[in-house]
Amino acid sequence: MTTTSHTILCGSCKCAVQSVPNPKAHDKVTCPRCNRSDRFDAVMRVVKEHVTHSTARALHEGMAKAVRGSKFLKLTSNGPGYRSFRWIASGYGS
């Protein structure tokens, strides 16, 4: 167990998923509540997307706060919008 690992949650019910210890690419990951299941490699791909997306959103929110009230700086983009993910990492919002 390392401090950089995050629990994988089901994107629908935010339930911690079940898998074998140290899963390999072909191992199944299953949500105990809604029985949604995927191969571990597919799950990890979505989880990484979720982390990237959440980080981008957090960055944009910080930037929006920084330029608020400034006469000279204006954010023209709304940043990444809300997305739902099939699988998510705990600790990164939704």
Residues that bind Zn ion (CB under 5 A): 10, 12-13, 31, 33-34, 36
Question: Cβ of 30: how many Cβ atoms within 10 Å?
Answer: 15
Least Å distance between CB 56 and Zn ion? 25
Decide whether 42 or 58 has the Cβ nearer to Zn ion: 42
Decide whether 37 or 80 has the Cβ nearer to Zn ion: 37
Rounded Cα distance between 16 and 30, Å, is: 9
Decide whether 13 or 20 has the Cβ nearer to Zn ion: 13
What is the Cα Rg of the chain in Å?
17
Which tokens is 55 given?
């980080």
